[in-house]
Chain A
Amino acid sequence: MDASGDVQDLHLLDLTKAFGDFVAVDDLTLTIPAGSFFALLGPSGCGKTTTLRMVAGLEDPTQGQILLGETDITHEKPYKRHVNTVFQSYALFPHLDIFENVAFGLRRRGIKNVEPQVTAMLELVELGPLARRKPAQLSGGQQQRVAVARALINQPGVLLLDEPLGALDLKLRRQMQIELKRIQTEVGTTFVHVTHDQEEAMTMADTVAVMNKGRIEQMGAPIDIYDLPQTSFVANFLGQSNLLSGSVNSGGDVLEVSAQGQRFGVPSNRSVVTSGDIVIGVRPEKLSLAAAGEQVADGRNAIPGRVTDASFTGVSTQYLVMTPWDAEWVVFEQNRASAIMRPGDEVTIHWEVRHTFGLAPAEAV
């Protein structure tokens, strides 16, 4: 089944939605390229679902435009726009069987012979034998696939997915992540996926946009955002980060930053600011621990501390280390070294300069 015939870019221009005084989506401008798997990631109340509902036509924008390719669909009725949605908790019609659920959109558009298309679609999601069951007779994962099939069969320009895996248990969620990715590759439709689960977003999407308070904080490939967050919100919402405020002493390819009486190196191409106040950060898995007094290789950033907690998780050990200025740093160490630190041990945290990133100070935690 190929639905990529009329896949077009989706443009949001200065899109705003206010509910009374509350601005849910604030002046959002965004282009989602045709055929991509795009994730809108953010915490509850960040405006991601409202954005999705405006694209679907279920919510009327206060301001701004929505374009599908060249066509302005901002105020098009939902049943007229070529956009379909996989709803949170699926919203399958309980009184119709699976076949009729999937055929619903085709029938409403007046298509007479729906049988071949519905059968093909049910094959795609591997539900052929269950066509005559009612939604209540299906497991959560099967219902999820019906919801996808019901939307996809209309060959929408964009498929919207509103927390599509939220109702599934962890194991099934993993399975469905792979499944959805497979379907997307197979049909080539643009998928816009809303989730609060950072792991889900990173696993499936080509592009992730992290949303906070109605705005997009940062957008890019998952690996790029993770490696180089540009705000402290992103640094902490997408994975964990250790942050430290200081100020830039001197520029160059590697900025010299002093903080808490110590000096640190930050690559200038990995920093949002190059002078004045700065917040430096590093991901926990980039850190190593050495026993206090042990020699740390030259040219690495290092800070002293005392282990307050060590949890062994199998693959790695997670340490909490208290710094002299009473901040708790998180350290993930793979269990390759023989020596495992214990709470109370005095240690040195050290990491490579190239793993450090710099953020603007206003963002300080």
Chain B
Amino acid sequence: MPAMAPSKKSSASTGVGVRRRPRTAYLLLIPGLGWLSIFFVVPLISLFATSLQAPTGKNGVYQAAFQVSNYAEAIAEYWPQFVRSFIYSGIATVLALVIAYPLAYFIAFRAGKWRALLLVLVVAPFFASFLLRTYAWRTILADEGFITSFFNMLHLLPEQRILNTPIAVVLGLTYNFLPFMILPLYAALERIDPRLIEAAGDLYASPFTGFRKVVWPLSLPGVVAGTLLTFIPASGDYINATLLGAPSDRMVGNAIQTNFLQFRDYPIASALSFILMAIILTLVFVYIRRAGTEDLV
């Protein structure tokens, strides 16, 4: 293809590829971006304002202020929840990666004509209620249940049970966000030409070296996207901790939820939300930069 080789350039100058009338573009953007500004950005500002409010003495009613001490109070009281949140969701993310990779690899390279069907099965859990699926783990991990008894027989459980322990919470988190790990991994693996793996084998790489030097690096964008899509929702989740854990396993999501909806301590709850988001965004940007996939979005 001659002269057209810089096809980006050429389409930029034609009418069809990319159009130059920005006015139409703004008209297309206004409703959606307007919505996101009013119901995402403004709420974050509102959240920040609320996090600095001071009590009026009346329960659930606060006034505008600049009470930075709310943050100190929130951290002092809830730092264990923060630590637990990041430990639980970190472990769950690693577990999900380990579990999801073989399945994604299988679907991408070995599934043949079953590929489409298997992908449907991966997203199928979304068709069943998140809450009910989580609740079902209470049945599966029940104290008298098969799984708990099996592990007890091997004396592997420090508390002689799984339910209402951190193990159940981590298992629940791993399970619930697994499809979010599988899909981006699959998308990245699917783009790898299987002949590359054969070429690696041809060039004296053992299957393991071939994987380490060829497949793994090429799948990194999927790994980054998958770990983010798992870690972010897991770290703010409180459903698993509530349904599967003991009161001592509560996460920061629980703290935000109870402060907002039960104690009606809006400033503390807002401060907690704000800290959580700040930590996650910092982690996300550092991670994306380190992984070198800034065009993730």
Contact = CB atoms under 8 A, between A and B. Distances in A.
Interface of A: 19-20, 22, 24-25, 42-50, 53, 58-60, 88, 163, 194, 196, 214
Given A44-B2, A58-B16, A214-B3, 10 more contacts: A24-B3, A42-B2, A45-B2, A49-B2, A49-B3, A50-B4, A53-B4, A58-B14, A88-B1, A194-B2
Contact of A25 (B3, B5, B13, B14): B3
B9 interface: yes
Nearest to A20: B9
Nearest to B6: A19
Contacts of B3: 24-25, 45-50, 214
A53 B16 CA distance: 13
A60 B5 contact: no
A60 B16 CA distance: 12
B69 interface: no
Contact of B10 (A44, A48, A59): A59
B10 to A, nearest CB: 7
Interface of B: 1-6, 9-10, 13-14, 16
Which of B2, B5, B13 has the most chain A CB within a 10 Å cutoff? B2
A84 to B, nearest CB: 16
Contacts of A22: 6
Given A19-B10, A59-B13, A59-B14, A43 B4 contact: no
Closest 7 A/B residue pairs (Cβ) = A24-B3, A50-B3, A47-B3, A44-B2, A19-B9, A49-B4, A45-B2
A20 B3 CA distance: 13
A196 B6 CA distance: 18
A19 B6 CA distance: 9
Contacts of B9: 19-20
A163 to B, nearest CB: 7
Contact of A46 (B2, B6, B10, B14): B2
Contact of A48 (B2, B6, B16): B2
Looking at chain B's contact residues, is the secondary structure mostly helix, strand, loop, or mixed?
Answer: loop
A88 B5 CA distance: 13
A214 B4 CA distance: 12
A163 B2 CA distance: 10
A262 B41 CA distance: 85
Contacts of B4: 49-50, 53
A42 B2 CA distance: 8
A60 B13 CA distance: 8
B216 to A, nearest CB: 34
Contacts of A42: 2
Contacts of A49: 1-4
Contact of A163 (B1, B6, B14): B1
19 contacts: A19-B6, A19-B9, A20-B9, A24-B3, A25-B3, A43-B2, A46-B3, A48-B2, A48-B3, A49-B3, A50-B2, A50-B3, A50-B10, A58-B14, A58-B16, A59-B13, A88-B1, A163-B1, A194-B2
B21 to A, nearest CB: 15
Q: Which of A42, A46, A48, A58 has the most CB of B within 10 A?
A: A58
Most buried by B among A19, A22, A42, A50: A19
Nearest to B4: A49
A19 B1 contact: no
A24 B1 CA distance: 12
Contact of A44 (B1, B13, B14): B1
A19 B13 CA distance: 9
A196 B2 contact: yes
A25 B2 CA distance: 11
A47 B2 CA distance: 6
A17 B120 CA distance: 49
Contact of B5 (A44, A53, A214): A44
Nearest to B16: A58
Contacts of A46: 2-3
Nearest to A24: B3
A22 B4 CA distance: 11
B142 to A, nearest CB: 52
B290 to A, nearest CB: 35
Contacts of A19: 6, 9-10, 13
Nearest to A62: B13
B2 to A, nearest CB: 5
B122 to A, nearest CB: 26
Nearest to B9: A19
Contacts of A59: 10, 13-14
A47 B1 CA distance: 9
B18 to A, nearest CB: 13
A45 B5 CA distance: 7
A194 to B, nearest CB: 8
Contacts of B1: 44, 49, 88, 163
